[in-house]
Homo-oligomer: A and B are copies of this chain.
């Protein structure tokens, strides 16, 4: 297909009445199933105790004096020379006493409120890749046009509940104000909750301010139902940078949630053994939890996990491995033990959208779903170990998310569902196609796929024998044509633009 300009694309969408793609309605998924457990209570206790020993005996190195002050006032052991903070179980217990078990989030459309915690399950857009790829234009550096198209796709497909922090880096834009452009695109092209950049106080506050403007409420009012979230990464092992702690503090002060996520590749940032990796990850997450509650008791926090492994022969990171599946489940067991909302990720290490990308994604996703994750980050579009955001992978992932959401629909067992009379009405060797029991239900009985082609081989051959990758290329283009920009009050739009213009100037002068 020739590249269609943005303007031309919108005209096409208006001119032809789109039939629209089959997709699920907007919904907040909830898991009706009890969490799957792969470790017993003794094992969980052993991991917990090891984490406490790490915090007490080794501690966490912090770069920020403000953080050291906070911990010192709370009675922690702070060594200013080595910048090391050691805490014990009482600090963890106190933080667990004030942190909320669940919280809601919403952007500018009240009906799209999502829950974090409990049985809720949210799927997020990939975040962070420097590159982007599709099968028409190939692999290229991240840019703002692709950024905006991904936001449109996330808005279009109801499978996606939340936008991650920068789906691709728009590298042509100035690094110090890029976050303003991306926040603006998030708000303009979608009405979804999004992740702000947690690197430093300024980027966080811009996100909070712009979300408040878009909801026509004050920043203070946004404390009741937060509108933005951020990822606070620990520089594993055991190091918390000051940019990260500044971001955490700014978010906590405004009661906006942080997802504390040690990024731990077993064999590199942790020992090779899964229990050790989890004990270390857990220690790092609990430390930041304590910090958030020292800043602001009651500030919302997610227990984040991103534990996979490296290929020990090459040192290359591996994702969607069976070890990652287990880690996703075990971290869910830990989050549940602490009563914390749980965030994990969906990832794969493939260099293209192929069989490997698919089965690794499924290993990762099943671990996340069985682990009862409330937020599956990077759920749509992640490729190449997170170095590329892929348009075809996005479509594949929407199909996978829709499959999982259908799997999460609770089983109904009424007398009619059990169908004894319907079964008795069809003779041995007969069929149920024409039965009233079937006809009454056939439209909604089964999940209708987005990407799967269930026609027989001959019909499939006649129409070009397109494989799923080729169909995915068609689908993201069609979705961009069908996409409808959500209406934004012109006054709000103007207020956002003037905020951004003002901030561009301020940041330009180096003013905080």
State the A residues within 8 Å of B (CB).
32-34, 36-39, 43, 46-47, 50, 53-54, 57-58, 60-61, 84, 139, 235, 237-239, 266-276, 279-280, 309, 311-312, 314-318, 321-323, 325-326, 330, 349-360, 362-363, 366, 370, 384-385, 387-388, 396, 399-400, 403-404, 406-407, 411-413, 416-420, 422-424, 426-433, 435, 437-438, 441-443, 445-447, 449, 451-457, 460-461, 465, 467-469, 472
Docked CA distance A61–B411 (Å):
30
A227 to chain B, nearest CB (A): 32
The complex places the Cα of A38 from the Cα of B404 at a distance, in Å, of: 14
A403 in contact with B363 given A354-B469, A355-B396, A442-B267 (CB within 8 Å): yes
Would A453 and B418 be within 8 Å (CB), given that A322-B403, A432-B270, A437-B272 are in contact? no
Q: Which residues of B contact A413 (CB under 8 A)?
A: 39, 43, 46-47, 275
A275 lies within 8 A of B418 (CB): yes
Q: Contacts A36-B36, A424-B54, A428-B239 known; A419 to B276 CB distance under 8 Å?
A: yes
Distance in angstroms from A446 CB to nearest chain B CB is 5
Closest 9 CB pairs of A and B: A276-B419, A61-B428, A362-B362, A322-B406, A358-B358, A355-B468, A272-B445, A239-B428, A354-B467
Given the known interface contacts A322-B406, A472-B355, the answer about A423 and B270 at a Cβ–Cβ threshold of 8 Å is yes
- With a CB–CB cut-off of 8 A, which chain B residues contact A407? 322, 325-326, 363
Residues of B close to A447: CB separation below 8 A: 321-323
Enumerate chain B residues within 8 angstroms of A431, measured Cβ to Cβ: 237, 268-269
> Is there contact, CB below 8 Å, between A271 and B446?
no
B446 A58 Cβ-Cβ under 8 A: no
**B266 touching A445, Cβ below 8 Å:** yes
Q: Are A326 and B411 in contact (CB under 8 A)?
A: yes
Given contacts A400-B359, A447-B323, A469-B355, contact A237 B429 (CB under 8 A): yes
Given A270-B432, A428-B60, A437-B272, check contact A419 B279 (CB 8 Å). Answer: yes
Chain B: minimal CB distance from A434 (Å): 11
By a CB distance below 8 angstroms, the chain B residues around A446 are 266-267, 272, 309, 311-312, 318, 321, 323
Q: Is the CB of B271 within 8 A of A435?
A: yes
User: A28 CB to closest chain B CB, in angstroms?
Assistant: 18
CB distance from A268 to the nearest CB of B (A): 5
Asked if B418 and A279 sit within 8 Å, CB to CB, the answer is: yes
What is the CB-to-nearest-CB distance from A412 to chain B, in angstroms, rounded to a whole number?
A: 8
CB<8 Å pairs between A and B, sample of 8: A57-B420, A270-B432, A271-B419, A275-B411, A315-B433, A322-B403, A351-B456, A388-B457
How far apart sit A50 and B415, CA to CA, in the bound complex (Å)?
A: 9
Taking CB as reference atom, which chain B residue is nearest A268?
B431
Query: Are A454 and B349 in contact, with the CB atoms below 8 A?
Result: yes
Say whether B312 contacts A442, CB under 8 Å. Answer: yes
Min CB distance A315 to B, Å, is: 7
Q: Is the CB of B239 within 8 A of A451?
A: no
CA–CA, A414 to B272, complex, Å?
14
CB-based nearest B residue for A470: B354
A423–B279 contact, CB under 8 A?
A: yes
Q: In the docked arrangement, what's the CA distance between A37 and B354, Å? A: 32
Q: Which residues of B contact A452 (CB under 8 A)?
A: 318, 349-350, 356, 360
A416 vs B276: C-alpha distance when bound (angstroms): 9
Which residues of chain B are within 8 angstroms of A60 by Cβ–Cβ distance?
A: 428
Q: Are B33 and A271 in contact (CB under 8 A)?
A: no
A360 to chain B, nearest CB (A): 7
Given contacts A266-B445, A271-B423, A318-B452, 15 further A-B contacts (CB under 8 A): A39-B413, A54-B420, A58-B423, A237-B423, A272-B446, A273-B445, A274-B411, A279-B419, A309-B446, A318-B454, A321-B403, A322-B447, A349-B454, A362-B362, A363-B407
Partner of A366, one of B43, B366, B411, B417: B366
B417:A276 contact, CB within 8 angstroms:
yes
Nearest B residue to A410, CB-CB: B38
Q: Complex: how many Å from CA A268 to CA B442?
A: 11
B54 touches A417 (CB 8 A): no
Which residues on the B side are within 8 Å of A235 (C-beta)?
Answer: 428-429
Asked if B455 and A355 sit within 8 Å, CB to CB, the answer is no
Report yes or no: A50 in contact with B418, Cβ–Cβ below 8 A. Answer: yes
